[in-house]
Structure 1
């Protein structure tokens, strides 16, 4: 099938994003025992701090994990560079830490080496991985399977969303938070309801764009990072992801008439600031789209009913995947096979 006749709903990317709601529902049931056991251990022997390690889309999930673990549990969470161990061979002082490695394939040598060295250094290693018999899984004390199933599109969708749900699942059980637990259980239905909403205005507005900013803050920063990557990967569109606070420290000088900006918001202490930045950019003549649950003033990409701020990014990113898939086809790209990329990237 030529790109001129490619139906956006026929791509693997579309189908796998659509499938994510069912995969998350199945994951929560399948992981109840494993996550429960891990949560009991973390309550009985709390870590000194949390360290994440990942690359690509999984690293954007790690950004989300930072905000979840810090806002919901109060544990400082930092990202470890895989190259510190794999290239520089520098030992890290990780005794008593929780080391969370996130990967779809679990095969990248640098990530595996970091997990092994973290374990040797006294960290408790948890692997969030889609391939449960991978080298990364073998290096971990605990494996929380993503249960995303095979992912055929090079552009990760359901594996990313399943990483987010696994992170929230761990946090909810570790904290013993019935409200967060119930909110997570409602995510698959919230995703299905949001799938009916139309983001055609975003696709139309970016059909001929060359650059854009993607904004998010706090729990939504990982969503902005992931969206910026997907614009580049699937649509050949240069996009940069920023915190809606950090964008004011220099990058906003680029935003003027007709400059495109996409912002993600969730109903917490960051929402008012994100909406204010979006409004300021509109007043400069920029093309601005805001995705947020409920109906806040200034939001023009609907996500459905209000929802727990920790869960909002899961629904927003799934909806974004549907839109960027359509945008890729509109711009003459096949989102399943981005140029120069492979499904599994193995860095050393």
Structure 2
């Protein structure tokens, strides 16, 4: 998008990134809203689906919602032992496949609920016997209409093209849903999240200083394991769609199977280090990266940040590992924003993108 068209879209003289910045700042209030207003309805939906005893879960999504769906996959497999798969929508929409989905739970995650392939694949899944659930920021959307059940993530209107608050809203809604399937009380465990999110978002000057290190980066590698892996994928997407820096995301295990060869002391590596088993599993990867002299940026516990080239320490003490992704992504959203501003670009208006992507 040209500078002229960007100015027309946002108004002459408006600060670049104003919309994205404002929506990032809304996240603590949004998390409180979900816990206070959304949780009872989510728990009711979960109870209704649990009574149907699904034997398998298929997750369907695109973009940031796809990363939220991957987070749900970890939750469902770890918390409930339910086997999960990420659906290949083209098998239905392009090839016309009609699998037997009796007793399968199909969860479709979409902030807009308007992408034609998501709507079509959900409709086909329901016709094939699936229990269908829409997780969306638009309860009046086509996706919600064709689904048997729906959850409103209550993020409020999101106008910036890069998804920020709808991503964290999806994570919290999915956590509450899975916890509801397990018969738990997810609100209690998540109660500290809004206040911790406020703490993280208040450290914007710290992130701005860190962003200056990466203003001229030509590529980045982002890695994690376990619950942190969806965060790595979402951070890579945010960097690519706002700053246009090629950002490659890998599971730490996959990084060792070949891609480690491209790591040097020039291209930064961002490691999302969960405070828990995922971080323990990532430790051998961190050791290998340091051994190669990587410019290692860590988002995680203070002890891990101290051992890296740079980083952002997270206040995760006492926060269950499964909830940490809601906090992990916040400094990385800010990093993508600040790097983009430092490069003289407008994160509100990434070139060639639209808020609703109509894939078929």
Q: TM-score, normalised by structure 1?
A: 0.94
CA distance in 2, matches of 1:122, 1:152: 36
Please state how far the C-alpha of 1:133 moved relative to its aligned partner.
0.4
Q: Is 1:298 matched up with 2:310?
A: no
Tell me if the contact between 2:137 and 2:155 (Cα under 8 Å) persists in the aligned partners. yes
Tell me the SS of whatever aligns to 2:195.
helix
Structure 1 stretches of 4+ with a deviation exceeding 6 A read none
**339, 350, 355: which one aligns with 1:338:** 350
| 1:104 and 2:111 are equivalent in the alignment | yes
Counterpart for residue 211 of structure 2: 203
Root mean square deviation, CA, Å: 1.9
Name the residue aligned to 1:64: 71
TM-score of the pair, normalised by structure 2: 0.91
Q: Secondary structure at the match of 1:310?
A: helix
Q: Which residue does the alignment assign to 1:93?
A: 100
**Is the partner of 1:304 in helix, strand or coil?**
coil
Question: Is the aligned partner of 1:226 residue 2:234?
Answer: yes
User: 1:279-321 CA distances to partner (integer Å, 9 max, x unpaired)?
Assistant: 3212322111111145446363111242211111111112211
Q: State the Cα distance separating 1:201 from its structure 2 match.
A: 5.0
2:46 to 34, 39, 43: 39
C-alpha displacement of 1:125: 0.5
The runs of 5 or more residues in structure 2 that have no matched partner are 7-12
The answer on whether the counterparts of 2:39 and 2:187 sit within 8 Å (CA) in structure 1 is no
| 2:353 paired with 1:347 | no
Contact 2:312/2:331 (CA < 8 Å) preserved in 1? no
Instruction: Provide the C-alpha distance between the structure 2 equivalents of 1:266 and 1:328, rounded to a whole number of angstroms.
Output: 26
* Paired residues of 1:279 and 1:298 also in contact (CA < 8 A): no
Q: Does 1:169 align with 2:146?
A: no
Aligned length: 345
Rounded to whole Å, the distance in 1 between the matches of 2:226 and 2:331 is 19
Contact 1:202 1:289 (8 Å CA) reproduced: no
- Equivalent pair of 2:207/2:338 in contact (CA under 8 Å): no
Say if 1:274 and 1:205 are closer, same or farther in 2 by CA, change over 3 A.
farther
Take 1:141 and 1:344, find their aligned partners in 2: how far apart are those partners? 23
Aligned 8 A contact 1:53 1:111 in 2: yes
Pairwise CA distance, 1:333: 1.0
Secondary structure in 2 matching 1:143: strand
Select the residue among 22, 28, 31 that pairs with 1:24.
31
* Aligned 8 A contact 1:172 1:181 in 2: no
Match of 1:185 in 2: 191
Mind listing any 5+ residue stretches in structure 1 that lack a counterpart?
A: none
